[in-house]
Structure 1
Amino acid sequence: MAQQNYSGAAIYRCNGNEATTPSESLYTCNGQFSSGRAFLIFTAKSPYVTVAAIANLTLSDQAEISRINNITTSRVLPEGQEVVVPVECSCSGRSYQATITYQIQPGETYFLIADNTFKGLSTCDELKHANTYRETSLLAGQKLRVPLRKRSITTSPPLPPPVSLKSKPKRAPLIVGITAGAFFLLISLLVLLFLSWKKRAQVADEIKKATRNFGSRSRIKDHEYRGTFKREVLAVKKNSGNAEYEVKMLYKINHFNIVRLHGFCQDKDDLYLVYEYMANGSLRDWLNRRGSQHTKSWYQRMRIALDVANGLLYLHNFANPAYVHNNVKSSNVLLDGNLRAKITNFSLAKEANCSDTKRIVGTRGYMAPECLGAGPVTPEVDVYAFGVVLLELITDEFPVIEQDGGGRLLSTSVAALMESLNAETDLCSFIAYGLAGNGGTKYALQVVKLSLSCLTQDPSDRPDMIEVVSILQKMYSIIHTPH
């Protein structure tokens, strides 16, 4: 429930101009409990290269650090080794955080402390916000309050130490032992296979029951169905292809603006993927709905745009490894009951900058020019497609406009319109119904300029998602009241 928000590169800056609020990069305090255990990754660096030094710096328990990482308290760690450190987080204002005390060393500044000792755990702006010292008055020996923030992780119990064989056993007992062990292992494997098969059959039956055997009344569209699992409504996607890569990827990432995978089940030739249910369907469906234009305000449209941008920002800059969605389009953006947007369908996703000899994938109207040739899959592909989604959001038009028995790209039409002498007037008649009034044309011009920068032919000239989020965040803050 405590979803971390992302503010792009602003969290690394310390000039006071870009970051909005320190809590923007923290976990929102909206969970069931006001405090709880969390884990952070600390990278060993002199003088913090022992369990005692790290525990003292982070106000953590030495014994817990030793147990979790399977290292002794006296061991000197090599610089660069990552150490899992348990900390206690509690509500501080609107955010969960753990706060520790740090003694300033000679010559250190807020930036050096954030970038060296606490790189990735705290930021320059957060240090400034938590302390009353000015940058120019930092002195050696002063104590700073340091708010820590880091993605939660789960840890496995440490493995037992390897057994040391000091003497050679006799040959006959060894053969008997190996034979008995192999037989026991075979029996255990057969039992596990049977239990696994039985469990899969039970889960498949549960999915069929929840979706009324994939009946028409449960169908959302195509091969997607709605099902009720223990009073929770979820979406089930029936997939006959290989979704192993998508499943593995979704299990490694977690973000509010990415549709969550609850689980999956293999049943003969079918693979069932169970996702969170999005009550308002796809963005494309929402834009198509007529008669409800009064609900499609600038506020809602810009919040949707910012949601999608934040999801892509996470994939490109914060997921490890970084990913490219490779099929961004309005039908792959889903809306929940509160019209919050989440990205779905990662069947074509790739690790960023991986080589791909078969790049001609995607949907007409959204594909960047470089997709027509072989080469690395880069985040700029998603940036281009997002530019098209922005145009859909303000025009309600399809990415390919049908006219005179043919089709013209929405992006081409808008680009041509912006080159006319009466661009602002022409745009006013092109944007969606009800958006022109109350300064709406001004907003539309800003969105179109951002969109066309994303649609630049040369990938290197396109903005990255950090810049896109920054621009949309400023626009969204201006349009903060629903119309």
Structure 2
Amino acid sequence: MNQVVFNLILFTLSMLHSSKTKAQQNYSGNSILSCKNNDDAGPSSAFLYTCNGLNKSCMTYLTFKSVLPYNSVSTISSLISSNPNELARINGATLLTVFPSGKDVIVPVNCSCLTNDYYKAETKYILGPNPTYFIVANDTFQGLSTCDSLMRANPYGELDLLRGMELNVPLRCACPTYHQKTNGTKYLLTYSVTWGDNISNIATRFNIPVGNLIDANGFSTQTELLFPFTTVLIPLASEPVSLTTIVANDPPTPLGCSFKKCKSNTKVLLIALTTSLLVLCVFLFVLFLIRFLLRKRSARFVKRCLEVNNKNGVFSEEIREEIAIIEHLSKVYSFEEIKEATENFSSKNRIKDSLFRGIFNNGKEVLAVKRMRGDASKEVNLLKRINHFNLIKLQGYCENDACIYLVYEYMENGSLREWLCKDNSIEHQSWAKRIQIALDIANGLQYLHNFTEPCYVHKDINSENILLNKDLRAKIAKFAHAEESKRMITSGSPASHVVGFMGYLAPEYVEARIVSTKMDVYAFGVVLLELITGNDSITLQDGREVMLYEIIQNIIGQENEEEKVSLFIDPCLIESCRKACALQLVKLSLACLIQEPDSRPNIEEVVSSLLKIQANDMQQRISPSINKSLSLER
């Protein structure tokens, strides 16, 4: 018995000695980006944090930057497998809180190293479109996991990942060492490094001595360089408090430029880019807040539909009362104003069909006037309650006899279909413009699907109903067929009551009248292919009409798919086209066009994928200029 006690004491002393000699973790640097590290010679910081703490398990914390679709207590706690009640408490929030984009959220997790040489918190993740271990580690989990640790935790090879697979995700965390415990450290917070971070400002932000931060991460000096998509450990004497810093989206990392070798002009460029993004983020947040307040106000409006008296074709007094309620948002024009603005609906002012160009406000404002007969209640009732940059804005309306005149913002470049058919121009040759147009459409749909009350399905997304302003920013128009997203119609004769363009209609709607947000995603997939190829959604092959996507999907998965896809790219884009980027867009489009609606991505996933593609494209465009600048300096 005495021998057992003696051995236990020796073991405890040896553990304490080990903890003292390994009093910190080692910072990974950018080694985690290679996805080809090994730890044959011992635990490596490119995987996770070493199991060298006083305890084998502990409560610890991570930081996660709020970003769609992970921007609420429920979605973040689900992604990280954290207790939602604790996550809400530590952030001074409620279970229903939605965080502003870019906010650092503290996430409590259980950290342990009971089975191997590394500490980890564990969660699971269902793969989305275009999955890779690198994207899951660095984009989805913001560097809180690593490519190497993901590959080790899962049985799938790098090239075997498919949408819908479930991954085991080990997250970077650690428990305090004996040395840290005796110096007052109770918790270690895993902080995800972002652009502009350095050792000094992180220490200041968390109100800890710089020396403690250096010791906790094995830094050699206070000026050691930190890399985005890596993590540092923050030693804390007490539970962390809610972080309030709002950080802009990270700019892309310039390729071919070593962080330690970049010259001063490159640093100035990166600082300028970061500053611009910060300003843009604040501006967008203010716009979001204004839109949110307006939507809350509009929710108090009367929800009765506008009614038309079928007998005499004029609007009832109830319509006038409702119009009066919303005058603070949309102007009520007199018929004389409409006639004067359109020069009595002159043919020279006709844009298309019953759509006219009008000059208002003593020649200071150009607007579009749409003349309609019959019941315009659905479109008016919806447009009065939405306010988003990528949805056409209803400026006002007028009633006269049996007609109603809707006055919209004027879109100088007409419809997307018209623009794609125009002669070549610099804008036509811009790959970046096409990606931005796709992102604009997806953002507009995301607002309709998630941020209106009730949520809506547009039902008629096509390149004719996407309008472009003078800056080639896209806005969704024509809401006459929009329906609440939960509505489902399962009866009626096929095709005869179908609304919309056949080339854009989802199969579940054509066959069973099922209306859901996934039918908009399907139509978006068709529009995205039109943006890539410049062609109509239906084309001729061997003398018969076929869907464009049917031709292209047969290429994907074949040998040299990138080269074969490039043959379908709009010839206007050849000079500026990056084939890898085009292939990513084509695969995203085909994911939206999957026949089974449940297998399609939701619009949030589409937006996320487009943002990544846009960032990669920007990175490819910026890198050559930076490399050229560096070569000139040398």
What TM-score comes out, normalization by structure 2 length? Answer: 0.50
Shift of 1:138: 8.4
Inter-partner Cα distance in structure 2 for 1:438 and 1:143 = 45
Aligned positions of 1:57-76 closer than 5 A: none
Does the residue aligned with 1:382 lie in a helix, a strand or coil? helix
Q: Deviations over 1:150-193 (max 9, x none)?
A: 4123759x9xxxxxxxxxxxxxxxxxxxxxxxxxxxxxx9xx99
| Contact 1:395/1:431, CA 8 A, preserved across alignment | yes
Q: Tell me which amino acid in the other structure corresponds to 1:211.
A: T
Shift of 1:360: 2.1
Report the counterpart of residue 98 of structure 2 in structure 1. Answer: 120
Is 1:203 the counterpart of 2:263? The answer is: no
The structure-2 alpha-carbon separation of the partners of 1:254 and 1:135, relative to structure 1 and needing over 3 Å to count, comes to farther
Shift of 1:11: 2.3
Q: Tell me which amino acid in the other structure corresponds to 1:152.
A: L
Q: Structure 2 residue aligned with 1:381, among 497, 506, 519?
A: 519
Report the counterpart of residue 350 of structure 2 in structure 1. Answer: 219
Shift of 1:371: 1.2
Give the greater-gyration-radius structure (CA): 2
Report the counterpart of residue 605 of structure 2 in structure 1. Answer: 467
Inter-partner Cα distance in structure 1 for 2:477 and 2:98 = 28
Shift of 1:430: 1.4
Report the counterpart of residue 68 of structure 2 in structure 1. Answer: 8
Does the residue aligned with 2:601 lie in a helix, a strand or coil? coil
| Contact 1:308/1:341, CA 8 A, preserved across alignment | yes
Q: Deviations over 1:52-94 (max 9, x none)?
A: xxxxxxxxxxxxxxxxxxxxxxxxxxxxxxxxxxxxxxxxxxx
Q: Tell me which amino acid in the other structure corresponds to 1:271.
A: I
Inter-partner Cα distance in structure 2 for 1:346 and 1:302 = 24
Question: Paired residues, what number?
Answer: 354
Report the counterpart of residue 274 of structure 1 in structure 2. Answer: 407
Report the counterpart of residue 308 of structure 2 in structure 1. Answer: none
| Contact 1:283/1:334, CA 8 A, preserved across alignment | yes
Shift of 1:464: 0.4
Q: Deviations over 1:279-326 (max 9, x none)?
A: 010110110012326633110000000000101111111212110000
Q: Tell me which amino acid in the other structure corresponds to 2:336.
A: D
Report the counterpart of residue 331 of structure 1 in structure 2. Answer: 464
Shift of 1:404: 5.6
The structure-2 alpha-carbon separation of the partners of 1:415 and 1:248, relative to structure 1 and needing over 3 Å to count, comes to same
Q: Tell me which amino acid in the other structure corresponds to 1:325.
A: H
Does the residue aligned with 2:69 lie in a helix, a strand or coil? helix
Aligned positions of 1:22-421 closer than 5 A: 109=87, 112-113=90-91, 115-116=93-94, 119-120=97-98, 122=100, 125-126=103-104, 132-133=205-206, 137=236, 139=238, 145=244, 150=289, 151-153=292-294, 203-230=334-361, 231-292=364-425, 295-356=428-489, 357=491, 360-403=498-541, 406-418=544-556, 420-421=558-559
The structure-2 alpha-carbon separation of the partners of 1:456 and 1:214, relative to structure 1 and needing over 3 Å to count, comes to same
Q: Tell me which amino acid in the other structure corresponds to 2:418.
A: D
Instruction: Judge which range, 386-395 or 117-126, deviates more.
Output: 117-126
| Contact 2:333/2:398, CA 8 A, preserved across alignment | no
The structure-2 alpha-carbon separation of the partners of 1:406 and 1:241, relative to structure 1 and needing over 3 Å to count, comes to farther
What TM-score comes out, normalization by structure 1 length? Answer: 0.65
Shift of 1:10: 3.3
| Contact 1:114/1:123, CA 8 A, preserved across alignment | no
The structure-2 alpha-carbon separation of the partners of 1:447 and 1:208, relative to structure 1 and needing over 3 Å to count, comes to same
Q: Tell me which amino acid in the other structure corresponds to 2:503.
A: G
Q: Which sections of structure 1, spanning at least 5 residues, go unmatched?
A: 1-5, 19-106, 159-188
User: What RMSD, in angstroms, separates the aligned Cα atoms of the two structures?
Assistant: 3.7
Shift of 1:331: 0.7
Report the counterpart of residue 199 of structure 2 in structure 1. Answer: none
Q: Structure 2 residue aligned with 1:423, among 561, 573, 577?
A: 561
